[in-house]
Structure 1
C-alpha cells in the first residue's frame, strides 16, 4: 500500500454536507451491520485518494489521471497553487459508488475515436453542495444539492463543476435491462422531482453507512439500489418532455444487443444492422456517431470480447483462433488493432501481464496506484 493511500474510514467533517443535501425523511437503504467477531467477515472493498498527499505541482495532474478513463478535465497552466481533490471509491461488484470532493473545473467526455476503453456506463450523480452544469447531445441542464443528474459516458457531453462534494453511482449498460430502459430515458437530465429526491436521500444514506456494511450483504445492497433506480426514475408522460428521445435510446439498446449477438458473424456490417433496426442510413450514422461510427463500435466490441477470452486462463486456444472467431482473418491485423485499442499486445494479455479491461480482482486493485483505481474499477464493471 502506498504511503499516501489508505483504506477509508468515515469522514465525519464532511457530514454537514449530507445534512445540507438530504431531506428530513427517513432514508430507505440497507441498515449498517454490526461488526462481527467472525474471522470470515470483511468490509466492502473501499479505497481513497487525496491530492493533498501528492506534491503540490503534481496535484492537478494526478486528479486528471484518476478520471482519465471517463472524462477529459481541462488543462491548467499554473500548477503552483495545488488542487484539492478527495475520492472514495467502493467496489460493489456489479456497481461502483464514489464520494468525491473537488475544486472547480471543466470537463468533457472522452471522444469515442480516441478512447482505448469502452466505458459505456451511466453515472448517477448527486451533488451535496455546489453545482454541476452540463451540455449534452440534445440539451443542457444543471443541478445543485440533492438533485440527481444522469450522464452517459458513451456519448458526447461537456460542462463544469463548482467547488463541490458529490456522490456518484456507476451503472454498466448490461447491469439490468429494466434499469437500462429507465436510465436511457433519463440520461442527460437533472431529476428534480419528489421521487428523484428520494433516490438522492438513498444515495446519501448509502454513503454514510457503507463503511459499516459487511461484504456478505452486497447482493442485498445491490438489489436494493437496483429497485430504487427503477422506482424513482421510472419514465412517465409527465417527466419525459419529448417522446422521440426515449424511443431513440430504446432503439440504441436494441442495436447494442444485435451487435453483441453477431460478434462472430463475418457477414454482419452496418447495412445489416440498419436493416435489422429498420432505420435510415442517416439515422444509423447519428446513433453511432458518439462511438466513432458503427464499424469502430463493432470492432471495439469484438476486441473487448477477444480480450476477455485471452485473459481467461481456461481458454487454451491459440491467439489466431480467438482472433478468427471474432472475424479477424489476419493475425498481424488483429495484433495491430488490439494494440491500437488497448495499448498492449494480445500476447501480453495471454501471458497474464495485462488483464485490466475485462476484470481485476480486488487484491490487484488494492495494489494499483491510488490515482488509477477509479479507472481500474470502472473497467472491471465490464467483466
Structure 2
C-alpha cells in the first residue's frame, strides 16, 4: 500500500483488511463492514490521493460499510462530492441522522461524526486545512454541532463540483509540483468561496429561489406527462434529487405535492372550459392522472366537491 509523501498520497485497490487500514490512515475512519463473511470476502475499496499534511485530495470507491471516527480528536473538515451511492451520518451532538445522496456536495466535519452508514459509493473529497474557519454564505457555521453542512447554493455548488472533477480527471497527469499548485489553488478557492460574508445571504437565498422557480416552471411545463419523475426534474434544473427535496421542503412543499397541485388546478379549470361530451376520465388523463378513482378522491379532498359537481356548478 502506497504511503503518503510530499504532495503524494498513492493509490490502489484493496481488500477489506487493507481498506480498513487505508480508512484509518487516510480518512480517519474505523470501518465496520455491514453484512456476512461472504460480503467481507467480496469487499473492494479503491482510492487515489495526493497532498501533504492535513490538506489532501482523495478519490475513492468502496462497497457498503459502516464507519465511525478512528481518532475523533484528529477530525478534519472535508468538502465531499458524492458521485454515486448515498450515506446516513449522525453527529455526536446533532439531531438524528443526516442523509446525503448522489450528486450532493457538502462539508463534513469528521470530529463531530458519531456514526456513518455508506452504501456502495464513489466520491471526491477535498480535505481542508485544520485552521480553516468556514462560515457558510447564509451565516451558518459548520462547527455548530452538525457534522454535515450541505452546500446548496447552485452557483457555488456547481463551480466547486467542476473544480473537484478537474482535479480527479487531470491531477494525476501533472508533475508533482504542478499538482501541488493545483491543489493549493483549489483549497484557496474553496475556503474563499465558503467564507462569503453574511451580507451575501440575500444572494445565496436568491440563488436557491431561482433554482426552486426553475423546478416549479419545469413542473408547469411537463405536468401532463405520466412518466415525469423527481430525478428528471432534478437533472433538468441542475441539482441532485436530495437537494431538490430540500429546496421544496424549505417552502413547506414536496415535489410530488407541487406537481399534484398543478394538475388539480389545471383539471379544475379544464372542467369549466371543456364541452359536456368530453368525459371526466379523459380530462384527468390529459392532465397527468392515470387512475380516475384516485383523481376523484384527490379532487374532492382539495376542492370539497367532486369533478362532476365542479362541472355542473360551472355550467350552471
Question: Structure 2 length as normaliser, TM-score?
Answer: 0.51
Aligned to 2:134: 181
Q: Secondary structure at the match of 1:200?
A: helix
Q: Secondary structure at the match of 1:181?
A: coil
How has the CA–CA distance of structure 1 residues 133 and 198 changed in structure 2, closer, same or farther, with 3 Å as cutoff? farther
Task: Please state how far the C-alpha of 1:218 moved relative to its aligned partner.
Answer: 4.6
How has the CA–CA distance of structure 1 residues 223 and 90 changed in structure 2, closer, same or farther, with 3 Å as cutoff? closer
Task: Please state how far the C-alpha of 1:233 moved relative to its aligned partner.
Answer: 2.2
Instruction: Using CA pairs under 8 Å that are at least 6 residues apart, name the structure with larger relative contact order, 1 or 2.
Output: 1
1:50 to 13, 17, 27: 13
Aligned to 1:86: 46
Pairing 1:212–2:169 present: no
1:221 to 182, 200, 203: 182
The unaligned stretches of length 5 or more in structure 2 are 206-316
CA displacement 1:299-353 (0-9 Å, x = unmatched): xxxxxxxxxxxxxxxxxxxxxxxxxxxxxxxxxxxxxxxxxxxxxxxxxxxxxxx
How has the CA–CA distance of structure 1 residues 67 and 190 changed in structure 2, closer, same or farther, with 3 Å as cutoff? same
Partners of 1:147 and 1:122 in 2: CA distance: 16
Aligned Cα root-mean-square deviation (Å): 3.0
Partners of 2:98 and 2:34 in 1: CA distance: 25
Q: Secondary structure at the match of 1:154?
A: helix
Contact 2:54-2:127 within 8 A present in 1 as well: no
Pairing 1:123–2:86 present: no
How has the CA–CA distance of structure 1 residues 122 and 73 changed in structure 2, closer, same or farther, with 3 Å as cutoff? same
Pairing 1:60–2:23 present: no
Contact 2:54-2:130 within 8 A present in 1 as well: no
CA displacement 1:226-265 (0-9 Å, x = unmatched): 332134323544679xxxxxxxxxxxxxxxxxxxxxxxxx
Q: Secondary structure at the match of 1:67?
A: helix
Aligned to 2:64: 104
Partners of 1:169 and 1:200 in 2: CA distance: 11
Query: Could you say which structure has the higher helix fraction?
Result: 2
Partners of 1:220 and 1:230 in 2: CA distance: 15
Query: Considering only CA atoms, is the larger Rg found in Structure 1 or Structure 2?
Result: 2
Contact 2:128-2:187 within 8 A present in 1 as well: no
Partners of 2:54 and 2:130 in 1: CA distance: 11
Query: Could you say which structure has the higher strand fraction?
Result: 2
CA displacement 1:354-373 (0-9 Å, x = unmatched): xxxxxxxxxxxxxxxxxxxx
Aligned to 1:71: 29
1:197 to 158, 164, 174: 158
Partners of 1:193 and 1:144 in 2: CA distance: 16
Q: Secondary structure at the match of 1:185?
A: coil
Partners of 1:158 and 1:128 in 2: CA distance: 21
Contact 1:126-1:148 within 8 A present in 2 as well: yes
How has the CA–CA distance of structure 1 residues 44 and 72 changed in structure 2, closer, same or farther, with 3 Å as cutoff? closer
How has the CA–CA distance of structure 1 residues 108 and 219 changed in structure 2, closer, same or farther, with 3 Å as cutoff? closer
2:87 to 132, 146, 149: 132
Task: Please state how far the C-alpha of 1:44 moved relative to its aligned partner.
Answer: 5.6
Q: Secondary structure at the match of 1:189?
A: strand
Aligned to 1:170: 127
Aligned positions, number: 185
Pairing 1:232–2:193 present: yes
Task: Please state how far the C-alpha of 1:161 moved relative to its aligned partner.
Answer: 1.2
